[in-house]
Amino acid sequence: MATEASGGDEAAARERVAFLQGVSRLRITDAAGELAGRLVESEAVPRKAVEDALHIAVAAVHGVDYLLTWNCKHIANARMRQAIERVCREVGYEPPVICTPEELMDEERD
């Protein structure tokens, strides 16, 4: 998590890293590794996106309700969502709701 947060624009990276100082980190368990492998093997997540599959798997294994991401290529992708959810459920995990922060925080429209 720290590696990703520290990348990109230097000022924004400092802000992200500072914010994350107080955030608990979920452990990468054997179960999460196995689920990530299933997500890739089933092609719910492309092979080149193994780290993204691990993010999804860690959230599912730990029972996280929402997985917020700006990664709309391999995680918050409507075309991939059904396959991701299916694989998680086949292995016995309820998948998190995968969305962008904006989708979660969308205020009531007038």
- How many CA atoms does the CB half-sphere of 77 hold within 13 Å? 16
pLDDT band at 74; cut points 50, 70, 90 = confident
Q: What is the pLDDT of residues 13-52, one digit of tens each?
A: 888 888 888 888 899 999 999 999 999 999 999 999 999 9
Say which range, 21-25, 49-53, 78-82, 106-110, has the weakest mean pLDDT.
106-110
Contact between 32 and 57 under an 8 Å Cβ cutoff? The reply is yes
pTM for the model: 0.83
Query: What are the tokens at 30?
Result: 């054997």
Asked if pLDDT for residue 108 goes beyond 70, the answer is no
Measured distance CA(65)–CA(74) in Å, rounded: 19
Q: What's the pLDDT at 107?
A: 60
pLDDT: which is higher, 67 or 13: 67
pLDDT for 22: 82
Confidence of residue 1 (pLDDT cuts 50, 70, 90): very low
pLDDT at res. 24: 85
